[in-house]
């Protein structure tokens, strides 16, 4: 596998406090990398840094071997898609919510209609197309949020705890659907979660993050079977 | 009374005064929008030193007494004043300047408040979907369209019923700078109460329509949530 994104010696500060210190991390093409760790450990800061929405103090970030700084931030952000914990839907129809990223890219309306309709069907919400975004259940809204990201055909998908606000049955159904979409599209994905089951179900590799540092990386089986330290074992509940 | 009402509506001066009021306050509100929408957006979304201070200045400006604005504008436009050479004192342009100074902080402050009510993570989400900064701002304006419309109408409401500044810088000249509010003052001073009452009813109708529209907008916004 080749790396889509490589990170070396990354330091990120927020409000004059260092929140991230990562020596080395790479995201391989086509993989689902889960970043797991307790709340407040800097996982979301890492995701925002990867989305170039948070400026690092220092660090060498490479996209497909090229320094990330050589890419125009907007061009870069148009190659990725971000899904946050809250769907944050616009006060517009479901269709328009899914179309927004395509409209930002100035695509012709025929193509927008075709792509949005395809993803409305793929995530199982065709019947909601005209419904206002504000009148959806939590699960429906998160489906819209996923469709809104996948419709962009992103080279890198960044997911920040997308299911943590949902009830258990809804979460399980969405997890299964997301897994099959990821298998089908082979989208390179970074998933932030504190839910170990979610990580085990979706990810091909897991990186454990404690206090702003990546402390172990491996397949879910490896990490869960052989935690590298007592702290990691404690977080994993072993 | 009914006879007077009818004669007033057929009176070209009443029509003239009403139209001038709407025109002057409408233009002042539009200029306030051109200033207040970008400035309020900047104050709501950007982080820079002095932002809180500027917000408190704007909030103070929202309660500027019109007579104080009238005094400042009159001194500036007075023949011996800083901009005296422009010869704007006692013209509709002078009233527009004074009303813009009154309405701009209202539009700016309410624009900032409207945008600050949106979830701050929405900005990250939009950028993370590939929005450029102008596209993000346009989407946020669209999200806050009802409170932004309310800001605009509140700006108009603050100047259409204002009398102090219009009187001081406009001079209440018949056929030139007489607006509804200054006409009411004049008629009252002359003891022409019936005429004053009818002009007052006209002004009240305009402000009622504005407030009715505002309430309707807010109720519609509340229903959608």
Interchain CB distance below 8 Å, B129 and A53: no
**Nearest CA-CA partner of A27 in A150, A155, A212:** A155
- pLDDT tens sequence across B117-172: 999 999 999 999 999 999 999 999 999 998 999 999 999 999 999 999 999 999 99
Cα separation of A222 and A28, whole Å?
18
The whole-number pLDDT of residue B216 equals 86
Assigned fold of B2-224: MetI-like fold (1.10.3720)
Q: What does the mean pLDDT of chain B come to?
A: 92
C-alpha pair distances (Å), A68 with each of A86, A103, A153, B102? 28, 25, 20, 48
CB-CB under 8 Å, A149 with B130:
no
pLDDT at B13: 86
Phi-psi group of A118: left, alpha or beta (phi > 0 → left; psi -120 to 50 → alpha; rest → beta): alpha
| Structure confidence by residue, pLDDT tens digits, A22-62 | 999 999 999 999 999 998 899 999 999 999 999 999 999 99
Residue B180, pLDDT > 80, answer: yes
Determine the pLDDT at residue B12: 84
Reported confidence tier of residue A2, pLDDT bands at 50, 70, 90 = confident
Region B186-207 average pLDDT: 92
CB contact under 8 A, B122 and A88: yes
Locate the chain B residue with the closest alpha carbon to A100: B129
Written as six digits, the tokens of A119 are: 């993803």
Nearest CA in chain B to A47: B128
Of B124, B132, B143, the CB nearest to A74: B132
- Rg (C-alpha) for chain A, rounded Å, is 18
State the Cα–Cα distance between residues A92 and A69, nearest whole angstrom. 35
The whole-number pLDDT of residue B225 equals: 53
Distance CA B192, CA B186 (A): 9
**Domain regions of chain A by residue span:** 1-72+157-162+188-238
Report chain B residues whose CB lies below 8 A from the CB of A160: none
Residues of A in contact with B224 (CB under 8 A): 91, 132, 134
CB B99 within 8 A of CB B166: yes
Residue-wise pLDDT tens digits, B7-61 = 666 788 888 999 999 999 999 999 999 999 999 999 999 989 999 999 999 999 9
Determine which of A54, A77, A92 to mutate to test the interface with B (most B C-beta atoms within 10 Å): A77
- Sheet holding A17-28: strands in order across? A17-28, A3-14, A58-63, A66-67
Show which residues on chain A lie within 8 Å of chain B, measured between beta carbons.
Answer: 48, 51, 53, 74, 77-78, 80-82, 84, 86, 88, 90-92, 100-101, 104-105, 132, 134, 148-149, 152, 158
Euclidean distance between CA atoms A220 and A218, whole angstroms:
6
Residue A127 clears pLDDT 70, i.e. is over it = yes
A108 pLDDT higher than 90: yes
Measured between beta carbons, which residues in chain B are less than 8 angstroms from residue A77?
Answer: 127-128, 130
CB contact under 8 A, B127 and A77: yes
What are the tens digits of pLDDT across the range A128-181? 999 999 999 999 999 999 999 999 999 999 999 999 888 888 899 999 999 999
A-chain CB neighbours of B130 within 8 Å are 74, 77-78, 81, 101, 104-105, 152
Check residue B218 and give its pLDDT. 75
Burial of B1 (0-12, 13-18, 19+ CB in 10 A): exposed
For residue B47, the tally of other CB atoms under 10 A from its CB is 5
Instruction: Grade residue B220 by pLDDT with cuts at 50, 70 and 90.
Output: confident
pLDDT of residue B1: 62
**Chain A residue nearest residue B138, CA to CA:** A104
Within 10 A of A198 (CB to CB), how many other CB atoms are there?
22
Q: Which two tokens stand for residue A54?
A: 């948070």
CA torsion B145-B118-A53-B37 (nearest 10°) is 40
What mean pLDDT is predicted for residues B189-210?
91
Contact between A8 and A24 (Cβ < 8 Å): yes
Q: Are B179 and B95 in contact (CB under 8 A)?
A: yes
DSSP at B122: H
Residues 6+ apart with CB under 8 A from A17: none
* Residues of chain A found within 8 Å of residue B127, distances taken between Cβ atoms: 51, 53, 77
What ipTM goes with this model? 0.94
Long-range contacts, B216-219 (Cβ 8 Å, 24+):
B217/B146, B217/B149, B217/B150, B217/B153, B218/B146, B218/B150
CB pairs A-B closer than 8 Å: 59
Inter-chain residue contact A104 with B224, CB threshold 8 Å: no
Predicted confidence at residue B6, as pLDDT, reads 73
What single DSSP character describes residue A25?
E
List the domain boundaries for chain B: 2-224
The pLDDT of residue B4: 63
CA distance B13 to B19: 10
What are phi and psi for residue A93, nearest 5 degrees?
A: -70, 165
**A67: confidence class by pLDDT, cuts 50, 70, 90:** very high
Q: Which residues contact A216 (CB under 8 A, 6 or more apart)?
A: A207, A208, A223, A227, A228, A229, A232
Compute the distance between CA of residue A97 and CA of residue B151 in angstroms, rounded to an integer: 26
φ, ψ of residue A204 to 5 degrees: the values are -90, -25
Distance CA(B12)–CA(B31), nearest Å, equals: 28
Q: How far apart are CA A52 and CA A236, in angstroms?
A: 30
B5, pLDDT greater than 80: no
Residue ranges of alpha helices (H) inside chain B are 2-9, 12-45, 51-61, 66-77, 92-116, 121-127, 133-143, 145-160, 164-170, 180-189, 193-224
Q: Give the architecture (CATH level 2) of A1-72+157-162+188-238.
A: 3-Layer(aba) Sandwich (3.40)
Contacts of B225 in chain A (CB under 8 A): 134
């Amino acid at each position: 596998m080749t790396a889509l994104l490589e990170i070396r010696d990354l330091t990120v500060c927020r409000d004059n406090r260092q929140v991230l210190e990562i020596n080395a991390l790479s995201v391989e093409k086509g993989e689902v990398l889960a970043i797991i760790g307790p709340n407040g450990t800097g996982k979301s800061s890492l995701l925002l840094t990867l989305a170039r929405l948070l400026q690092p103090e220092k660090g060498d970030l490479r996209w497909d071997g090229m320094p990330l700084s050589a890419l125009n931030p907007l061009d870069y952000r148009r190659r990725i898609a971000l899904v946050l914990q809250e769907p944050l839907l616009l006060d517009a129809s479901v269709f328009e919510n899914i179309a927004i990223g395509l409209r930002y890219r100035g695509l012709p309306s025929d193509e927008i209609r075709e792509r949005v309709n395809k993803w409305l069907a793929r995530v199982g919400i065709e019947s909601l197309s005209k419904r206002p975004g504000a009148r959806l259940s939590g699960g429906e809204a998160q489906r819209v949020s996923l469709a809104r990201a996948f419709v962009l055909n992103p080279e890198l998908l960044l997911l920040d705890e997308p299911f943590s606000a949902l009830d258990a049955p809804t979460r399980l159904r969405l997890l299964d659907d997301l897994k099959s979409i990821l298998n089908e599209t082979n989208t390179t994905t970074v998933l932030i979660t504190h839910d170990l089951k979610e990580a085990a179900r979706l990810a091909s590799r897991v990186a454990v993050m404690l206090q702003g540092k990546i402390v172990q990386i491996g397949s879910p089986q490896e990490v869960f079977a052989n935690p590298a330290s007592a702290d990691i074992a404690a977080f994993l509940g072993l | 009374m009914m006879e007077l009402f009818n004669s007033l509506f057929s009176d070209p001066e009443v029509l003239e005064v009403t139209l001038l009021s709407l025109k002057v306050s409408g233009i002042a509100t539009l200029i306030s929008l051109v200033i207040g929408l970008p400035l309020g957006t900047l104050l709501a979304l950007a982080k820079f030193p002095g932002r809180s201070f500027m917000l408190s200045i704007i909030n103070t400006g929202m309660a500027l007494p019109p007579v104080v604005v009238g005094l400042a504008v009159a001194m500036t436009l007075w023949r011996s004043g800083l901009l005296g050479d422009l010869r704007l004192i006692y013209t509709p342009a002078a009233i527009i300047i004074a009303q813009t100074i009154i309405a701009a902080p209202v539009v700016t402050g309410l624009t900032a408040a409207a945008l600050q009510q949106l979830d701050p993570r929405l900005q990250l989400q939009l950028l993370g979907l590939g929005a450029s900064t102008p596209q993000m701002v346009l989407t946020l304006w669209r999200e806050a369209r009802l409170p932004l419309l309310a800001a605009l109408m509140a700006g108009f409401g603050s100047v259409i019923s204002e009398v102090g500044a219009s009187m001081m810088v406009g001079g209440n000249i018949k056929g030139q700078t007489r607006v509804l509010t200054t006409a009411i003052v004049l008629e009252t001073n002359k003891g022409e109460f019936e005429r004053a009452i009818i002009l007052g009813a006209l002004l009240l109708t305009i402000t009622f329509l504005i407030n009715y529209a505002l309430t309707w907008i807010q109720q519609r916004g509340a229903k959608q949530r």
